[in-house]
């Protein structure tokens, strides 16, 4: 039973990160194209996660981790329905995220298994918006969250047009 719960946690954990990323983007007007939140700045892949999200303190899990705030971790655990979706009881040691590009902090089990992260690292990309195969990529993150993928494809177009860089 414990083995199945861990597998479920790992399998669906990437979805949790995508939900956070997508929800945060919508909340901040990015996914909706809010004119007050958009600008003409070139997207910077080095400031993004591998999938294209920008980890900020607006992500409650990221904030809870940085502040080591157990109460906020409990809130995230409850709000994101980790018990129902991941099948594990609250443990502050398991509810954390420093982002997927950290080198001096631990990665949670989800990020260790993230296929988008692994692919971008193998291709030596700072973010998937630099990848010419993004449009046809069928990694689980993109198939489970097609709207998030659509948003990243739009960011990719902006990146190419404003930076003048070719996709790799």
pLDDT tens per residue, range 71-122 = 999 999 999 888 887 788 999 999 999 999 999 999 987 788 899 999 999 9
The answer to whether residue 111 is domain-embedded is yes
The answer to whether residue 165 is domain-embedded is no
The answer to whether residue 150 is domain-embedded is yes
- For residues 113 and 42, the model is more confident at 42
The answer to whether residue 133 is domain-embedded is yes
Q: For residue 2, is pLDDT > 80?
A: no
Helices (H), the chain: 2-27, 60-67, 70-79, 82-86, 109-112, 115-122, 140-144, 146-163
Q: Please state whether the predicted TM-score (pTM) of the whole model is above 0.85.
A: no
For 64, the token pair is 């809870």
Which residue range is the domain that position 39 belongs to?
A: 2-155
The answer to whether residue 164 is domain-embedded is no
The answer to whether residue 62 is domain-embedded is yes
Structural domain total, the chain: 1
CA 159/CA 162 separation, integer angstroms: 5
Segment 125-141, tens digit of pLDDT? 999 999 999 999 999 99
Q: DSSP letter at 45?
A: G
Q: For residue 1, is pLDDT > 80?
A: no
Q: For residue 29, is pLDDT > 50?
A: no
The answer to whether residue 166 is domain-embedded is no
CA 87/CA 135 separation, integer angstroms: 33
As a whole-number percent, the residues of the chain with pLDDT over 90 amount to 60
Q: pLDDT band for 23, please (50, 70, 90 cuts).
A: very low
The answer to whether residue 167 is domain-embedded is no
**Sequential DSSP letters for 75-96:** HHHHHTTHHHHH-----TTTS-
């Amino acid at each position: 039973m414990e083995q199945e719960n861990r597998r479920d946690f790992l399998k669906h954990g990437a979805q949790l990160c995508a939900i956070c990323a997508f929800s945060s983007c919508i909340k901040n007007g990015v996914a909706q194209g809010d004119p007050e939140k958009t600008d003409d700045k070139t997207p910077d892949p080095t400031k993004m996660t591998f999938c294209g999200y920008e980890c900020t303190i607006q992500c409650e899990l990221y904030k809870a981790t940085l502040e080591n705030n157990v109460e906020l971790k409990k809130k995230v655990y409850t709000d994101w329905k980790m018990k129902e979706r991941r099948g594990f009881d609250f443990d502050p040691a398991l509810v954390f995220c420093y982002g997927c590009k950290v080198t001096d902090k631990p990665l949670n089990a989800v990020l260790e298994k993230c296929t988008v992260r692994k692919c971008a690292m193998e291709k030596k990309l700072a973010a998937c918006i630099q990848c010419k195969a993004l449009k046809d990529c069928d990694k689980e993150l993109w198939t489970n969250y097609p709207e998030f993928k659509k948003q990243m494809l739009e960011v990719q177009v902006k990146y190419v047009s404003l930076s003048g860089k070719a996709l790799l």
